[in-house]
């Protein structure tokens, strides 16, 4: 597969991923390990909570976004990783059976001043459910190789 | 246990958690599900990568921070959840056997204008390894109930 280099990326470029369905078993398995709050791990307690039923840990939802990014973009790009991201927001709960996809839009590209072999790509990323409602948003920061001469 | 309400929290308050050791098995298990890049799931490939060995997915490290927060703080607070967080940075790789703890410092407290029953607490959170090196940092945003009258 042809790799996508920094020069191939422009402000305004948009990407839509495939969808990934979140199961009850995954929600509970993740939360038992990393976020054992009752509304993430106990269906009965969750019914009595303000959420009215089991919801996914926000970190599970973010991890599902990462899986979609790896499957749809990361492995196609001449990427050099990411230093982090800004402004993550959990906009709406994710429930068992929800089907998630992301839409991303490049908002900034700039060559690195200190490292001419790479550039920085910033994108606004929204994770949506099957009803086209945003469930999570963040501003991503990616380091991408410049095209070899 | 006495719950901690918004009025009990002040700018400058610091918290240090207990430590949590990250195993190779957990690193690989998490990454196979949510971040299947070779340097997270394949020891041999990781040795040949720029990292020189297996490293944890940044999202796994963030999830370990969440587990420390739940065990040390979330369940003691009269918390109403979080809308998200700002400025997450993966500062340094996490490797098998690393032992992680967080240190957090409250940087802002304000009552909600629209919801008098709660306040917003912002904190700077650093996740450190056994060598006292920061591996991840973020700016947390928490919603906390005001004390019942």
Provide the token pair at B51.
Answer: 């990292």
- Cβ of residue B59 closer than 8 Å to a chain A Cβ: yes
Q: Nearest C-alpha of chain A: how many angstroms from B54? A: 15
pLDDT at A133 over 70: yes
In contact, B109 and B121? CB cutoff 8 Å: yes
Count the Cβ atoms, other than its own, within 10 Å of residue B2: 6
Cβ distance A84 to B83 less than 8 Å, yes or no, reads: no
Which of A22, A88, A94, A137 best probes binding to B when mutated, by most B CB atoms within 10 angstroms?
Answer: A88
Hey, is the C-beta of A45 within 8 angstroms of any chain B C-beta?
no
CB contact under 8 A, B89 and A83: yes
DSSP E strand stretches across chain B = 14-16, 20-21, 84-90, 99-111, 118-128, 134-145
| Distance between CA atoms of residues A98 and B102, nearest Å | 32
Strand partners, B141: B84, B122
Partner A contacted by B64 (CB < 8 A): yes
pLDDT digits (tens, 9 = 90+) for B47-79: 999 899 999 999 999 999 999 999 998 768 888
pLDDT in tens, B88-115: 999 999 999 999 999 999 999 999 999 9
| pLDDT score for A5 | 96
Instruction: Report A:78-97 residues touching B (Cβ under 8 A).
Output: 82-90
Please say whether the dihedral angle defined by the alpha carbons of residues B93, A68, A15 and A3, taken in this order, is positive or negative: positive
Using CA coordinates, name the residue in chain A closest to B89: A84
Q: Which residue from B69, B116, B13, B90 is spatially nearest to A81, judged by alpha carbons? A: B90
Whether B70 sits inside 8 A of A36 (CB atoms) is yes
Phi, psi of B83 (to 5 degrees): -80, -10
CATH architecture assigned to B6-145: Roll (3.10)
pLDDT in tens, A26-82: 999 999 999 999 999 999 999 999 899 999 999 999 999 999 999 998 768 888 889
Q: Do B82 and A35 touch (CB under 8 A)?
A: no
For chain A, the residue count is: 149
Residue B50: predicted pLDDT: 87
A67 inside 8 A of chain B by CB: yes
Asked whether the beta carbons of residue A63 and residue B63 sit closer than 8 angstroms, the reply is yes
Residue with tokens 């402000």: A11
Q: Is the ipTM of this complex over 0.90?
A: yes
């Amino acid at each position: 597969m042809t790799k996508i280099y920094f020069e191939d990326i422009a402000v305004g470029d948009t990407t839509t991923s495939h969808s990934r369905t979140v199961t009850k078993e995954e929600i509970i398995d993740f939360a038992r390990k990393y976020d054992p709050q009752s509304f993430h791990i106990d269906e009965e307690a969750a019914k009595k909570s303000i959420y009215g039923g089991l919801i996914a840990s926000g970190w599970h939802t973010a991890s599902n976004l990462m899986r979609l990014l790896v499957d749809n973009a990361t492995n196609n790009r001449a990427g050099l990783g990411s230093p982090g991201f800004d402004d993550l927001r959990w906009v709406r709960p994710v429930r068992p059976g929800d089907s998630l996809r992301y839409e991303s839009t490049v908002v900034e590209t700039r060559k690195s001043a200190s490292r001419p072999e790479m550039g920085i790509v910033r994108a606004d990323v929204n994770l949506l459910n099957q009803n086209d409602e945003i469930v999570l948003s963040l501003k991503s920061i990616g380091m991408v190789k410049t095209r070899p001469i």
